[in-house]
Amino acid sequence: MAADKVEMTNIIGPVLRIRLGRNERYPVVRFVEKTDRSAVTLSIDESMDATTVIEAAIKALDSESAIEAVNVEGIGAFEIDSVDEKSQGRIAGRVMIVTGAAQGFGLGIAQDLAKEGACVVLGDINIGEAEKQAEALLREHGPNRAMAVAMNVTDLASIQSAISETVKAFGGFDGFISNAGVVKAESVKTQPAKDFDFITSVNYRGYFLCTQAASQILALQHKACSNYSSDIIQINSKSGLVGSNRNGAYAGSKFGGIGLTQSFALELIEDGIKVNSICPGNFFDGPLWSDPDNGLFAQYLDSGKIPGAKTVEDVKRAYESKVPMGRGCTTPDVMKAIYYLIEQKYETGQALPVSGGQVMLN
Same domain, 186 and 329: yes
User: Based on the structure, what is the number of domains in the chain?
Assistant: 2
Burial (CB count <10 Å: 0-12, 13-18, 19+), residue 133:
buried
Same domain, 45 and 126: no
Of 80, 110, 134, which residue sits at a domain end? 80
Same domain, 203 and 339: yes
| Residue 89 covered by a domain | no
278: helix, strand or coil:
strand
- Residue 250 is among the residues annotated as catalytic for this protein: yes
The rounded distance, in Å, linking the Cα atoms of 186 and 282 is 17
Instruction: Kindly give the pairing relationship between strand 76-80 and strand 146-150.
Output: unpaired
Yes or no: say if 153 and 202 are a contact pair by the CB < 8 Å rule. Answer: yes
Same domain, 66 and 184: no
Amino acid at position 74, single letter: G
Same domain, 69 and 127: no
pLDDT of residue 287: 76
Same domain, 127 and 31: no
pLDDT of residue 64: 67
Q: What is the pLDDT of residues 267-308, one digit of tens each?
A: 999 999 999 999 999 888 877 788 888 888 898 898 888 999
| Residue 194 covered by a domain | yes
Q: What is the pLDDT of residues 41-68, one digit of tens each?
A: 998 887 788 899 899 988 888 866 789 9
| Residue 230 covered by a domain | yes
Of 55, 80, 105, which residue sits at a domain end? 80
112: helix, strand or coil:
helix
359 pLDDT exceeds 80?
Answer: yes
Contacts of 163 (CB under 8 A, 6+ apart): 10, 97, 173, 213, 214, 216, 217
Percentage of residues in the chain having pLDDT higher than 90: 79
| Residue 291 covered by a domain | no
| Residue 293 covered by a domain | no
Same domain, 158 and 269: yes
pLDDT of residue 2: 53
Residue ranges making up the domain that contains 162: 95-282+323-354
Same domain, 44 and 170: no
Comparison of pLDDT for 23 and 196, the residue scoring more: 196
Same domain, 235 and 119: yes
| Residue 12 covered by a domain | yes
| Residue 302 covered by a domain | no
Same domain, 184 and 104: yes
| Residue 304 covered by a domain | no
Same domain, 137 and 24: no
| CATH number for 122 | 3.40.50.720
Same domain, 186 and 334: yes
Yes or no: say if 217 and 262 are a contact pair by the CB < 8 Å rule. Answer: no
From the list 250, 319, 339, 340, the catalytic residue is 250
Q: Where is 22: in which H helix or E strand? A: none
Comparison of pLDDT for 345 and 82, the residue scoring more: 345
